[in-house]
Amino acid sequence: MAIQNTPATAVANGEPHIAPLDASKLIVNLSKTLKPLPTTDDVHFGEIKTDHMLVMNYEPTAGWSAPEIKPYGPLSLDPACSCFQYCPNVFEGMKAYVGPDGEPRLFRPHKNMERLARSAERVALPPFDTDALLVLIKRLIAIEARWIPAKPGHSLYIRPTIIGTRPALGVAASDSAMIYVILTPAGLYFKGDAKGIPILAVGHSVRSWPGGTGGHKLGLNYAPGFLPQKIAAKQGYSQVLWLFGDDSRITEAGAMNFFVVVQRDDGDLDVITPPLDGLILPGLTRASCLELLDAHTQGKTVLPNIPASTRLHTHERILTMHDLIAWSAEGKLLEAFCVGTAVVIAPVGRIGFEGKDIVLPTEDTGLGLVGKGLWERVVDIQGGRYPWEDWSVTCE
């Protein structure tokens, strides 16, 4: 099946027309042979790919080509492409879920498109129509709907990616680009650490810095963290808790946003996460958690298993390891958890810092009161089982 394309370039007054990204020009070439679906036990994050992918290209004299959904396979790129030499590569993480009606759904996808556009702008990649790209992603998901696992906690992970494809070695912004979207069925991210992830606080290597790119989802942000991650793993830790500055300021945990829950003297709970000061990625799950926590305190909803009378005070402020040490010594540090698209919400069991561990009360039990309440509510919204504003979007 194919929707016929029209030429991308039309000449008017001697000047080429730069074609925008146009979802109506979609070409669909379906695979003649479909892959067998994995069992849920075989689903490991990012390893299995679905049958099809979405691809489109931008050239400076023509604009965006007709987007195409075609069988999953290798890309053909010039060895001198900017993406290999200077890393103008950006991506997003999204998920599709099966709703109660059996239809695929996305979770706040417009927010992902907005962040993808901001990241692309940060590395001077060509602009694109975010609404058009979302329409195309929904079409791809509809075609690949059989790949969405129905098991609770499972989903179809979506990886939209934009790379610079200028085939020249000159140090300059890439005026050519490719957008492609691939899909992979996903189960639980931390299978062996359901009772609490051990993380190692690291300050000798930094993930981001003021004026840098830490607030954008760029491929170049991730590779420098691989060596510290390997070192942490050798010491028995699953993730790195990135610190910044002489005050051991906490930023992110691995590629996730970080939260702590602290007991207040008045009986309420403080829920604290580092601020969006350019050092950390403005995570979609992070923002959703903050909004749900505030909604609980405001009486707009009651999070599962959390009494309506329990007020949850959210704070986006500087958080240091010394804060955690003091709260732990006072018995006020109740729980810590990481949030992100891949993990949703994952418990932290212990935090290594300067040769000692801060052990969380939930190390052997998994998510605490707040983390578990958030996990249940977010997962129910994602799957369309709990209507909440316009967060769950069908792929009609």
Chain segment 273-326, per-residue pLDDT in tens: 999 999 999 999 999 999 999 999 999 999 999 999 999 999 999 999 999 999
Q: Does 232 lie in the same domain as 132?
A: no
Name the residue range of residue 206's domain.
Answer: 197-384
**Domain boundary residue, one of 118, 152, 186:** 186
Sorting pLDDT into bands at 50, 70 and 90, what band is 9? very low
Q: What is the largest CA-CA distance in the chain?
A: 75
The sign of the dihedral angle between the CA atoms of 198, 201, 206, 209 is positive
* CB-CB contact of 216 with 90 (8 Å): yes
Chain segment 365-390, per-residue pLDDT in tens: 899 999 999 999 999 999 999 999 99
Residue 392: strand, helix, or coil: strand
CA of 380: how far to CAs of 1, 42, 211, 373, 392, in Å? 35, 24, 37, 11, 10
Q: Does 283 lie in the same domain as 233?
A: yes
Q: Does 205 lie in the same domain as 337?
A: yes
47 assigned to some structural domain: yes
**Domain boundary residue, one of 186, 212, 242:** 186
Question: Per the structure block, which two tokens stand in for 342?
Answer: 């891949």
Chain segment 197-227, per-residue pLDDT in tens: 999 999 998 999 999 999 999 999 999 999 9
395 assigned to some structural domain: no
191 assigned to some structural domain: no
**CB neighbours of 371 closer than 8 A, spacing ≥ 6?**
259, 261, 335, 337, 345, 347, 362
Could you write out the three-class secondary structure of 243-296?
EECCCCEEEEECCEEEEEEEECCCCCEEEEECCCCCCCCCCHHHHHHHHHHHHH
Please provide the DSSP assignment of 311-371 as one string.
-EEEEE---BHHHHHHHHHHT-EEEEEEEETTTEEEEEEEEEETTEEEEPTTTTT-S-HHH
- The structure's pTM equals 0.93
390 assigned to some structural domain: no
Chain segment 98-136, per-residue pLDDT in tens: 999 999 999 999 999 999 999 999 999 999 999 999 999
Return the minimum-mean-pLDDT range out of 39-43, 50-54, 175-179, 200-204: 39-43
Q: Cα–Cα distance between 230 and 333 in angstroms, integer?
A: 28
248 assigned to some structural domain: yes
Question: Per the structure block, which two tokens stand in for 350?
Answer: 């212990």
192 assigned to some structural domain: no
* CB-CB contact of 218 with 87 (8 Å): yes
DSSP-derived secondary structure letter, 17: -
Question: For residue 136, which of 65, 184, 83, 82 has the smallest C-alpha distance?
Answer: 65
**Domain boundary residue, one of 141, 158, 186:** 186
393 assigned to some structural domain: no
Question: Per the structure block, which two tokens stand in for 214?
Answer: 């830490």
User: In terms of C-beta density within 10 A (0-12 exposed, 13-18 middle, 19 or more buried), how is residue 263 classed?
Assistant: middle
